[in-house]
């Protein structure tokens, strides 16, 4: 029994190993950084690319990766593939593990899948100009926050390379845990993006899922076509038939004197607005020779401050009811209107048709980023023709690490919660102290034994406590009523706990607090789904990328 079971187990393990080994042959490139990368990866010597790459363990694990070790630097590093990959041949899977150990506020964390060196670059001078086939991975800065997928495609008519960006890309996961990013390109032009093995986006390489589209518009506005001089694009014109009515007085002023206004009583016609300050004295160091004759400074006439006004009284003005202003003809539809001018469309000389995009070959992998945060760790970089291999690597290399990190995080949250709980216990203790004091009040003596019983129950049972806390005010109110209005009311009104909570938001409610946390988590998760838009902050990197 024992023997046969282990035998079967052995067989299963062996077969799965063999299957895995067989599919591994579809792997074009795999680096798990179990050995120092020095020698396999070449650091760019290009000026500006001074960021120091390190060989470091992932925090909390015995597993090494390729680490971005300094903030606010540009980084360049590249490794050749043993053989070139033609993404036009079958399925291509691009995958890597990424851990943002210090988070990511502003920086790239993407990979570039580079053209053969014959296209005009070398690893030692690898920089933003080095030609790539595909760029894939997270990028965040300002309002940019996306998992890029860009492919460069040569227009066969113009010979120009165009960068085609995935529209509405998924958002990267911005926490400090290990994550795995996967892009799968299928022979049917479908692109699939996965994060942690979960599908986040599918797109068609030849469709408007990409901006600009691979296939350009069939027609374009004729650059030679110019708007004719006499083109009438006025939709409305002043009515030429209309004329100014005879009684329309264009000269009538907007404002006229208010003849009904009267000079306020007590107006001081002969008082000036300002008078000499009689309290002012000539400064001792005043030199008549140099400074001229001294005059006391002026102050507001105190008599005017008391009176409604001083000096000559003038009538105020008011709006003129006869005012009409300049006459203008009303607008009518322009009978000669020709519409908004647009140049005529001509066939686009750069237009072409394709069944499949002509993806460029991949001969090397490069990381060429500019980041404000260090602590970015790359690991398990894979290029394969087999999705199953990528899935297997996720299970064996990413999942165990992620699970450990999740567990650790959960333990930390628990610790946090228990701290909160003990704080709640503290509050509860104080509440009960008060409640016990209330129970001592003479007018409650009749109910004392019941209240004590209730409080005792509450102190040992948290859920009961909540209902007690909710019930006590009701109980007290009832008691007051019965004291004030005598024995008319026989018993406390029956109020459900729900209703109490609804009406009384002050009622402590642990469950509610948890709900709030859950909602917050949910919104964060949803936020992770919201698909980013092209943003101006991308310009910083775009300028480096564009050729």
Task: Give strand pairing partners of 268.
Answer: 310
Q: CB-wise, 168 or 190, nearer to ligand NAG?
A: 190
Q: CB-wise, 36 or 202, nearer to ligand NAG?
A: 202
Q: Binder to ligand NAG among 30, 55, 186, 447 (CB under 6 A)?
A: 186
Determine the Cα–Cα distance for residues 98 and 394; give it in Å rounded to an integer. 12
Q: CB-wise, 371 or 384, nearer to ligand NAG?
A: 384
Q: Identify the CA nearest to 54 among candidates 374, 398, 383, 381.
A: 374
Determine the Cα–Cα distance for residues 330 and 244; give it in Å rounded to an integer. 10
Query: What tokens were used for 376?
Result: 């970015």
**Segment 259-288, which members bind ligand NAG (CB under 6 A)?**
none
Task: Choose one: 9-17, 152-160, 185-193, 401-409; the region binding ligand NAG (CB under 6 A).
Answer: 185-193
- 109 in Cβ contact with 138 (< 8 Å): yes
Determine the Cα–Cα distance for residues 490 and 134; give it in Å rounded to an integer. 80
For the bound state, the minimum distance from the C-beta of residue 186 to ligand NAG, rounded and expressed in Å, comes to: 4
For the bound state, the minimum distance from the C-beta of residue 190 to ligand NAG, rounded and expressed in Å, comes to: 4
The set of residues, in sequence order, having a beta carbon less than 8 Å from that of 218 and lying 6+ positions away, is 347, 348, 351
Q: CB-wise, 203 or 382, nearer to ligand NAG?
A: 203
Count of residues that bind ligand NAG according to CB under 6 A: 3
The set of residues, in sequence order, having a beta carbon less than 8 Å from that of 69 and lying 6+ positions away, is 51, 52, 53, 54, 56, 374
State whether residue 106 is helix, strand or coil.
coil
Task: Choose one: 116-124, 186-194, 395-403, 461-469; the region binding ligand NAG (CB under 6 A).
Answer: 186-194
Q: CB-wise, 174 or 189, nearer to ligand NAG?
A: 189
State whether residue 200 is helix, strand or coil.
strand
For the bound state, the minimum distance from the C-beta of residue 188 to ligand NAG, rounded and expressed in Å, comes to: 4
Ranked by CB distance to ligand NAG, the top (closest) residue is: 188
Q: Which x/- pattern over 149-178 shows residues binding ligand NAG (rule: CB under 6 A)?
A: ------------------------------
Task: Choose one: 183-191, 219-227, 292-300, 472-480; the region binding ligand NAG (CB under 6 A).
Answer: 183-191
Within 10 angstroms of residue 10's Cβ, the number of other Cβ atoms is 10
Determine the Cα–Cα distance for residues 143 and 537; give it in Å rounded to an integer. 6
Q: Binder to ligand NAG among 174, 190, 301, 467 (CB under 6 A)?
A: 190
For the bound state, the minimum distance from the C-beta of residue 146 to ligand NAG, rounded and expressed in Å, comes to: 23
Q: Does residue 188 bind ligand NAG (CB under 6 A)?
A: yes
Q: Does residue 391 bind ligand NAG (CB under 6 A)?
A: no
Task: Choose one: 18-26, 44-52, 184-192, 377-385; the region binding ligand NAG (CB under 6 A).
Answer: 184-192
Determine the Cα–Cα distance for residues 21 and 16; give it in Å rounded to an integer. 8
Look at the block and give the residue holding tokens 């070959």: 361
- 91 in Cβ contact with 384 (< 8 Å): no
Q: Under the rule (CB under 6 A), what is the footprint of ligand NAG?
A: 186, 188, 190
């Amino acid at each position: 029994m024992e023997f046969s079971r282990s035998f079967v187990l052995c067989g299963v393990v062996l077969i799965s190993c063999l299957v895995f080994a067989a599919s591994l042959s579809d792997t074009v490139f795999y680096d798990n950084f179990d050995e120092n990368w020095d020698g396999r990866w070449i650091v760019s010597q290009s000026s500006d690319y001074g960021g120091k790459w390190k060989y470091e363990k992932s925090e909390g694990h015995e597993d090494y990766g390729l680490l971005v070790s300094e903030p606010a630097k540009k980084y360049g590093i590249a490794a050749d593939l043993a053989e070139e990959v033609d993404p036009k041949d079958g399925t291509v899977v691009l995958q890597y593990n990424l851990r943002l150990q210090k988070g990511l506020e502003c920086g790239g964390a993407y990979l570039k899948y580079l053209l053969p060196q014959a296209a005009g670059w070398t690893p030692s001078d690898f920089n933003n100009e080095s030609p790539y086939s595909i760029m894939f991975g997270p990028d965040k800065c300002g309002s940019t926050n996306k998992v890029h997928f860009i492919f460069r495609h040569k227009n066969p008519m113009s010979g120009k390379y165009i960068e085609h960006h995935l529209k509405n890309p998924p958002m990267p996961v911005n926490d400090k845990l290990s994550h795995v990013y996967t892009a799968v390109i299928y022979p049917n032009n479908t692109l699939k993006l996965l994060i942690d093995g979960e599908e986040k986006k599918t797109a068609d390489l030849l469709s408007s899922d990409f901006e600009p589209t691979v296939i350009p518009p069939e027609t374009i506005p004729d650059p030679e076509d110019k708007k004719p001089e006499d083109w009438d694009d006025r939709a409305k014109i002043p009515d030429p038939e209309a004329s100014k009515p005879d009684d329309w007085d264009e000269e009538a002023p907007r404002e006229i004197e208010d003849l009904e206004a009267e000079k306020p009583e007590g107006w001081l016609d002969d008082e000036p607005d300002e008078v000499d300050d009689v309290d002012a004295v000539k400064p001792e160091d005043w030199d008549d020779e140099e400074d001229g004759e001294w005059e006391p400074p002026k102050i507001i006439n105190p008599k005017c401050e008391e009176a409604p006004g001083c000096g000559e009284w003038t009538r105020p003005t008011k709006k003129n009811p006869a005012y009409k202003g300049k006459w203008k003809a009303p607008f009518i539809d322009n009978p000669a209107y020709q519409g908004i001018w647009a140049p005529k469309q001509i066939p686009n000389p750069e237009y072409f048709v394709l069944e499949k995009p002509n993806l460029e070959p991949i001969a090397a992998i490069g990381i060429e980023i500019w980041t404000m945060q260090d602590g970015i760790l790359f690991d398990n970089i894979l290029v394969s023709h087999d999705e199953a291999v990528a899935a297997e690597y996720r299970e064996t290399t990413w999942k165990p690490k992620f699970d450990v990190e999740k567990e650790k995080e959960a333990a930390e949250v628990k610790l946090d919660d228990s701290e909160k709980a003990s704080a709640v216990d503290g509050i509860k203790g104080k509440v009960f102290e008060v409640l016990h004091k209330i129970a001592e009040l003479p007018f409650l003596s009749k109910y004392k034994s019941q209240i004590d019983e209730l409080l005792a129950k509450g102190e040992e049972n948290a859920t009961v406590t909540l209902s007690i806390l909710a019930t006590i005010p009701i109980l007290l109110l009832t008691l007051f009523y019965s004291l004030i209005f005598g024995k008319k009311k026989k018993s406390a009104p029956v109020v459900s706990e729900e209703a109490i909570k609804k009406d009384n938001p002050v009622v402590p409610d642990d469950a509610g607090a948890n709900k709030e946390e859950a909602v917050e988590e949910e919104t964060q998760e949803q936020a992770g789904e919201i698909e980013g838009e092209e943003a101006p902050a991308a310009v910083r990197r775009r300028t480096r990328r564009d050729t």
